[in-house]
Amino acid sequence: MKTSLRALIGSAVAAVTLLALNPAPAQAASLTMLGADVSTLQRTLDLGGKYYTASGTQADPYDILAGAGANYMRLRVWNNPASGYNNKAKVLQQAKAIKAKGLKLLIDFHYSDTWADPGKQYPPAAWSSHSLTQLQTDVYNYTYDVCTALKSQGTTPDSVQIGNEINVGMLWPKGQVTNSNFAPLASLLKQGYNATKACNSGTQVMIHTADADSDANARWFYDGIKAQGVTWDITALSYYCMWHGTLANLYNVIADVKSRYGKPVVIVETAYMYTTANADGQSNSIPGTTTCDGQAATKAGQGTEFTWIQNTARNAGAVGVFYWEPTWYAIAGNGWDPANINGTGDGWDNMATFDASGKFNSYVKWTA
């Protein structure tokens, strides 16, 4: 009862704070894109990993996620990762499983052989010596190839990201934004957009940054690409409270970019810890001491924080929220480094919605 009361009071305080900071809140939308990034799931299944409902019954992980309200799955695609996972062939395989469950599909193009994020945007080895003009062709051809392969097997992507957290560009150094010159990046983004629409005109194109922390940064980036004539359908942001600030700030960024660019907004990455423990030899990416909004690193705290993030996004006018890697619990052989997938561990195990035994956290729910 004390925990429930504390959560209720905390929720009320958060709501009052948001209203105080935003006396004229944006019109509330419905969250139609209730998502989960399941990019490591196939590896877990191939290693014999099992998933269980909160009551301990073994079940298909997609069914468990859908039962908690998720309706949209996200898969990253790397060009030629050393592990062989998250490449085109594996994405095609996993896309079949996702679409067979009646779920929608978001494909996240990193345009790299490994992780691409605000601090690193390395081109695939096969493109490393290419000029900007060649990279434009590479982006078009690769995007079109993956999209049409998915379409040909009956798993047309419902949406795609042209780049992952491209705060200062992608395919560095050719596509990096330097001295606020967005022209090189814009030339690449246009090719990704055109290739997607040539594959399937109904597939929505997202441009994704981790700029939920700063409205000034978001305006700098999206103003920059807009001025270069870049077209996109959805503005996509990452939000991790331990890195990107308060819920009130998140509200303000979402409301502003929605109004400023006239496009739907989606939080394509978020997560929260359920424990301070580490289930393997890999240090946790986010230590258990880094909590937010008074929510403890517990299963209840994880569920409440995720609910608050969804509520904030909805109230600010967003149309979707994706939980990042909820199925990535610690299992030997499913490491973070594609160049050493067996020799590295999982730094995300305390952030997953399945615990170290593969059991789902019943407090986590996706809500429209």
Alpha-helical regions (H) of the chain: 2-21, 41-46, 61-67, 88-100, 132-152, 183-199, 215-227, 241-244, 247-261, 299-316
Residue 290 has a pLDDT of 83
Asked if 226 and 257 count as a contact pair (C-beta separation under 8 A), the reply is no
Catalytic pick from 269, 280, 325, 355? 269
Half-sphere exposure of 256 (CA within 13 A, CB side): 20
For the record, the structure tokens of 118 come out as: 């605000």
145 Cβ partners below 8 Å, 6+ apart? 88
List, in sequence order, every residue forming a beta bridge with 104; answer none if it has no partner.
Answer: 72
**Model pLDDT, residue 28:** 57
SS3 125: helix
CA atoms 42, 47, 48, 53: torsion sign: negative
Strands 234-238 vs 159-162: parallel, antiparallel or unpaired: unpaired
Which of the 8 DSSP states describes residue 157? -
Which single residue is written with the structure tokens 């610690």? 330
The series of mean pLDDT values per 10 residues for the chain, 368 residues long, is 39 43 53 98 98 98 98 98 98 98 98 98 98 98 99 98 98 98 98 98 98 97 98 98 96 98 98 96 87 96 98 98 98 97 97 98 98
| Cβ contact 169:176 at 8 Å | yes
Tokens of 83: 């592990």
- The pLDDT of residue 3 is 37
14-21: long-range pairs with CB below 8 Å, 24+: 14/247, 14/293, 14/308, 14/312, 15/311, 17/247, 17/248, 18/247, 18/248, 18/251, 18/312, 18/315, 21/248, 21/251, 21/252
With beta carbons less than 8 A apart as the criterion, state whether 36 and 322 touch.
Answer: yes
- At 77 the three-state DSSP class reads strand
Say whether 325 is catalytic.
no
Q: Judge whether 233 and 200 are in contact, CB under 8 Å.
A: no
Selecting among 37, 108, 165, 305, the annotated active-site residue is 165
> Are the C-beta atoms of 304 and 11 separated by less than 8 Å?
yes
CA 54, 60, 61, 64 torsion: positive or negative?
negative
Span 33-360: which CATH code? 3.20.20.80
Query: What is the SS3 assignment for 178?
Result: strand
Tokens representing residue 318 in the block: 């967003």
| SS3 category, 268 | strand
Tokens of 274: 């359920």
215 by Cβ neighbours in 10 Å (0-12 / 13-18 / 19+) ranks as middle
CB atoms within 10 A of CB 223: 14
Instruction: Identify the residue whose tokens are 């001025």.
Output: 227
What's the whole-model pTM score?
0.93
The closest of 266, 282, 278 to 324, measured between CA atoms, is: 266
Domains of the chain, by residue range, sit at 33-360
Instruction: Determine whether 165 is an active site residue.
Output: yes
